[in-house]
Chain A
Amino acid sequence: MQTLTLAVVLLLLSTLAFQLGRKRAFAVSERQSMPLHSLPGYYGSWVALWCGLPAFAILALWLMFEPSLVRELVVADLPAAMRDLPADRVDVLVNEVRNAAMGHATADADLAVAAEHYNHLRHIGFAVIAAITVTIALAGAAFAWRRIQPELRARPRVEASVNVFLVASSTVAIFTTIGIVLSLLFEAMRFFNMVGFMDFLFGLNWSPQMSTRSDQVGSSGAFGMIPLLTGTMLISLISMVVALPLGLFSAIYMSEYAQPRVRAVAKPALEILAGIPTVVFGFFAVITVAPVIRSVGEVFGLSVAAESALAAGFVMGITLIPLISSLSDDVITAVPQSLREGAFGLGATRSETIRQVVLPAALPGIVGGVLLAVSRAIGETMIVVMAAGLSAKLTFNPLEAVTTVTVQIVTLLVGDTEFDSPKTLAAFALGLMLFAITLGLNVVALHIVQKYREKYD
């Protein structure tokens, strides 16, 4: 809260600096009766930049290092008996101190003292940093303000800093990818130090529950991802069996047959379907689809698991219809009209034209779209978390409960996470596999689309 106030104050100072700089530019130009190099606003911006940038940079640095600095000082002041505890106990103590400092009551007198010390340190720290940043802001503004001359090239200087901002922004995407890859790799490597890479990749058993005591039965935990992969593939397969025909035929009908009125209803309907959050579909699967599938199964004398792969896959298929339909619609409309007219001229009916001319021409695009949909199905989380099971069974029976990679990632990480147990780290290894698989599918999809695209123009 205090920091926010400080930031607002700095912003106000920068605004003031802008106004002063602008005025000064006019005044200087008049006094020396020389035209300004840049528009007056640029002089103002230049002063504002000098005022705000260094101050905010220092504030950011402070925010980054303040917690650890204060922590060190508080720990150093704790009674020796507390200070010499193992590192994780000290962490707990520091947390208690922080809670006490927030105003929660504490029973321990030492901790109460430490909490007061903590608050005191933070107050001093804030006062110091507030003084430093405001001084630097004022000094920067004064420095820039004094240097305003008509021949000062203010615009190029301001534009150069804007340019730096633009370039820096565009690297955020790169850093995100690097961050994903590094964090996944780093934690996955720690996991592979505990569990063999080959055991993970080709193991047929998945039971990550580790017991807390080593003498318990089944304490080892097994981390073989094959059952998860087969479960993921089974559910994705079911979803594609639902989504592919429905999506493709919808696209064909909409682009080749539909009256404008039908299009006007069907297209928004599909867009709404695409916009509904998957958590809603998960609820739908649990509350409506799964019971229906169960009772239908009972009619035929089949026993259907409560969390059957069929229910999850079916509902996931519904969510993928809009994706497949819109991607196929795009490629089908991109097939040139002359091809259709040629086929009509030879006496082909509409459906013959579509099946023998349009679809072959659009095939690469459709295959690419399907691969994208498969990749989406593999990475889809909420529907399977809610509607698919937890037990990793190696089966291809759609009526049984299976689990998927994403379900396991969520179950391993929801609740208490300990970054030294293979149970938590396994989630990152699974995440790495998921990332690799979906990335691979996307690359292949793009490649197919680009390489096999028929060029007609």
Chain B
Amino acid sequence: MTEMAQTTAAATRTAETVAARLGRRYAAERRFRALGLASILMSVAFLAILLGTIVQKGWTGFMQTQIALEVSFDPQVIDPDGGRDPLTLDTADYADLVRNAMAARLAPDADRNARRDLSSMVSTMAADQLRRMVTGNPALIGTKATVWLLASDKLDMVSKGQAPRQPGAVGNVLNDRQLAWLGALEEAGQTRKTFNTTFFTAGDSRAPEQAGIWGAVVGSFFSLAITLLVSFPLGVATAVYLEEFAPTNRWTDLIEVNINNLAAVPSVVFGLLGLAVFLNVFHLPRSSPVAGGLVLALICLPTIIIAGRAALKAVPPSIRQAAAGLGASPLQIVSHHVLPLAMPGMLTGTILGMARALGETAPLLMIGMVAFIVDIPKSPLDPSAVLPVQIYLWAGSSERAFVEKTSAAIMVLLLFLVSMNMVAIILRKKFERRW
């Protein structure tokens, strides 16, 4: 009896310790699981914060502030001798018209200082706006018209709430007088915010309100076109050779190891190669999309080759055997049967490689694509910027108004990347075949 009681007691004790330990073990289990969930949530949160910051800082970049002014096209300023000579009309002092109009509206008896303050509220592009109006229609001279003129970056920032409005606040970009004038204009409904077309049509500029991304978009387009033209045929040919024809020997082993290593070489090293070979040996034009596109092609090549080989591997051998059985030559087997089946996979890999190339910045800095370029490039040989480099340049600019331009440009870049990835995903979904 006592023995039984003892065993029961021992069993109860064991059960108790096991239960207690089990509690601890389950707690550890829950902790472990929570850690995993927390790290995923943190990673997603980082992504959300990043995108949130960019959108929050950048969406105003797609808007610009304009001021309505009654401009009198004074013949004394534009064309004193009344000859209506095109050259005179083109070189007249339109900035003076803008200053006069500002003074007439806000401070009729302004002294030199006040006039300078007035004119710094309007963009220097306003004068160009008037010039275009007058040269397009000389009949305007001598009349008065209300024109919406582009505001300066400082007024733009205050109007968008990115700089303080209270006179005397820390970080003011406009002085007290200018803030009062702005208030007067806003009260009279003479300011408005419109869609910022300049941002999508202009090249780079030192003045934030006149800066645009079109030059960089064109430069990126030229670079990527060259990258695609060079790396796609080379990549597909290499993949086909290595996967379908190459004998297994030391030479092909070497090529394979080499390609895998190239994929892991830091991109800045490719930039050094571009500088030393494409610029110094082949004398390609500095900071041109040709040089940039070639460097990017070398960077993309391993990605395209690796993706291409995977796509070729996925085509079942029975296809090849069937074609061979019908008397096709090895090249015919590949070009008529295997390659068309592998093409969607290869294209997916290529698009992903292109997306990477579109965001690549460091190697392009090496070949001089950081120059300040206003003109829109007309050919791949012209100096140009590319989108990520434009972002880098604006991010390093001391003008605070460039922060929203940088964020807006990032939004455009991300939009391009997302659409490229979407195309890749659709391609994969639509054409992927499981054998």
Residue in contact with B33 in the complex, picked from A165, A257, A318, A410, CB distance below 8 Å: A257
Measured CA separation A281–B44 after assembly (Å): 15
Known: A253-B37, A413-B366. A279 touches B391 (CB 8 A): yes
Measured CA separation A281–B361 after assembly (Å): 12
Residue in contact with B43 in the complex, picked from A273, A276, A431, CB distance below 8 Å: A273
Residue in contact with A386 in the complex, picked from B25, B37, B283, B395, CB distance below 8 Å: B395
Residue in contact with A269 in the complex, picked from B32, B43, B53, B403, CB distance below 8 Å: B43
Q: Is the CB of A382 within 8 A of B361?
A: yes
Q: Is the CB of B329 within 8 A of A159?
A: yes
Known: A349-B25, A410-B365. A183 touches B276 (CB 8 A): yes
Measured CA separation A183–B271 after assembly (Å): 11
Q: Decide yes or no whether B158 CB sits under 8 A from chain A.
A: no
Measured CA separation A351–B42 after assembly (Å): 20
Contacts of A443 in B (CB 8 A): 261
Known: A269-B47, A279-B359, A442-B261. A183 touches B277 (CB 8 A): yes
Query: Nearest-CB distance from B37 to chain A (Å)?
Result: 6
Contacts of B255 in A (CB 8 A): 170-171, 173-174
Residue in contact with A173 in the complex, picked from B240, B262, B361, CB distance below 8 Å: B262
Q: Decide yes or no whether A155 CB sits under 8 A from chain B.
A: yes
Contact with B along A132-165 (1 / 0, CB 8 A): 0000000000000000000000010001001101
Residue in contact with A169 in the complex, picked from B35, B38, B233, CB distance below 8 Å: B233
Q: Which of A252-303 contact B (CB under 8 A)?
A: 252-254, 256-258, 262, 265-266, 269-270, 272-273, 275-284, 286-288
Q: Decide yes or no whether A381 CB sits under 8 A from chain B.
A: yes
Measured CA separation A221–B284 after assembly (Å): 31
Measured CA separation A431–B25 after assembly (Å): 51
Q: Decide yes or no whether B77 CB sits under 8 A from chain A.
A: no
Q: Decide yes or no whether B213 CB sits under 8 A from chain A.
A: no
Residue in contact with A379 in the complex, picked from B258, B266, B277, B283, CB distance below 8 Å: B266
Q: Which of A101-159 contact B (CB under 8 A)?
A: 155, 159
Q: Which of A376-415 contact B (CB under 8 A)?
A: 376, 378-382, 385-386, 406, 409-410, 413-414
Q: Decide yes or no whether B108 CB sits under 8 A from chain A.
A: no
Q: Is the CB of A417 within 8 A of B275?
A: yes
Residue in contact with B392 in the complex, picked from A155, A279, A284, A349, CB distance below 8 Å: A279
Q: Is the CB of B359 within 8 A of A375?
A: no
Contacts of A417 in B (CB 8 A): 275
Measured CA separation A377–B245 after assembly (Å): 37
Measured CA separation A368–B213 after assembly (Å): 41
Q: Is the CB of B331 within 8 A of A162?
A: yes
Stretch binding the partner chain, chosen from A8-16, A200-208, A432-440: A432-440
Contacts of A286 in B (CB 8 A): 395
Q: Is the CB of B413 within 8 A of A277?
A: yes
Q: Decide yes or no whether B57 CB sits under 8 A from chain A.
A: yes
Q: Decide yes or no whether B298 CB sits under 8 A from chain A.
A: yes
Measured CA separation A162–B233 after assembly (Å): 12
Q: Is the CB of B28 within 8 A of A351?
A: yes
Residue in contact with B241 in the complex, picked from A167, A246, A277, A278, CB distance below 8 Å: A167
Measured CA separation A194–B282 after assembly (Å): 26
Query: Nearest-CB distance from B164 to chain A (Å)?
Result: 18
Q: Decide yes or no whether A67 CB sits under 8 A from chain B.
A: yes
Q: Is the CB of B245 within 8 A of A166?
A: yes
Secondary structure of the B contact surface, majority rule: helix
Contacts of B379 in A (CB 8 A): 1
Contacts of B362 in A (CB 8 A): 278, 381-382, 385, 406, 410
Known: A170-B241, A174-B255, A379-B268. A279 touches B29 (CB 8 A): no
Q: Decide yes or no whether A312 CB sits under 8 A from chain B.
A: no
Measured CA separation A455–B226 after assembly (Å): 45
Measured CA separation A350–B36 after assembly (Å): 13
Contact with B along A344-382 (1 / 0, CB 8 A): 000001111011000000000000000010011011111
Q: Which of A283, A325, A382, A434 has most chain B Cβ within 10 Å?
A: A283
Shortest Cβ distance from B264 into A: residue: A442
Contacts of B410 in A (CB 8 A): 280, 283
Known: A159-B329, A166-B241, A172-B234. A179 touches B273 (CB 8 A): yes
Q: Decide yes or no whether B302 CB sits under 8 A from chain A.
A: yes
Q: Decide yes or no whether A96 CB sits under 8 A from chain B.
A: no
Q: Is the CB of A386 within 8 A of B264?
A: no
Measured CA separation A179–B267 after assembly (Å): 14
Residue in contact with A438 in the complex, picked from B37, B266, B273, B366, CB distance below 8 Å: B266
Query: Nearest-CB distance from A189 to chain B (Å)?
Result: 12
Q: Decide yes or no whether A245 CB sits under 8 A from chain B.
A: yes
Contacts of A258 in B (CB 8 A): 40
Q: Decide yes or no whether A46 CB sits under 8 A from chain B.
A: no
Known: A166-B237, A406-B268. A277 touches B262 (CB 8 A): no
Q: Is the CB of B359 within 8 A of A155?
A: no
Q: Which of B382-432 contact A (CB under 8 A)?
A: 388, 391-392, 395-396, 403, 406-407, 410, 413-414, 417, 421
Q: Is the CB of B406 within 8 A of A439?
A: no
Q: Is the CB of B267 within 8 A of A170?
A: no
Q: Decide yes or no whether A184 CB sits under 8 A from chain B.
A: yes
Contacts of A256 in B (CB 8 A): 36
Measured CA separation A256–B32 after assembly (Å): 11
Contacts of A254 in B (CB 8 A): 40
Contacts of A187 in B (CB 8 A): 276
Q: Is the CB of B361 within 8 A of A277?
A: yes
Shortest Cβ distance from A168 into B: residue: B237
Contacts of A186 in B (CB 8 A): 276
Shortest Cβ distance from A246 into B: residue: B39
Q: Which of B229-253 contact A (CB under 8 A)?
A: 233-234, 237-238, 240-242, 245-246
Lowest 3 A-B CB distances belong to which pairs?
A379-B266, A277-B359, A253-B36
Other CB < 8 Å A-B pairs besides A179-B277, A277-B413, A435-B265, 7 of them? A245-B39, A257-B36, A257-B37, A276-B50, A283-B391, A386-B395, A386-B396
28 A–B contacts from the bound complex (CB under 8 Å): A67-B283, A166-B241, A173-B305, A183-B277, A187-B276, A249-B38, A250-B36, A250-B43, A257-B37, A269-B44, A277-B413, A283-B395, A283-B407, A287-B403, A318-B43, A349-B26, A350-B32, A355-B32, A382-B362, A385-B362, A385-B365, A410-B268, A410-B365, A414-B370, A431-B272, A434-B268, A434-B269, A442-B264
Q: B interface vs A, CB < 8 Å?
A: 25-26, 28-29, 31-33, 35-40, 42-44, 46-47, 49-50, 53-54, 57, 233-234, 237-238, 240-242, 245-246, 254-255, 258-262, 264-273, 275-277, 280, 283, 298, 301-302, 305, 329, 331, 355-356, 358-362, 365-366, 370, 379, 388, 391-392, 395-396, 403, 406-407, 410, 413-414, 417, 421
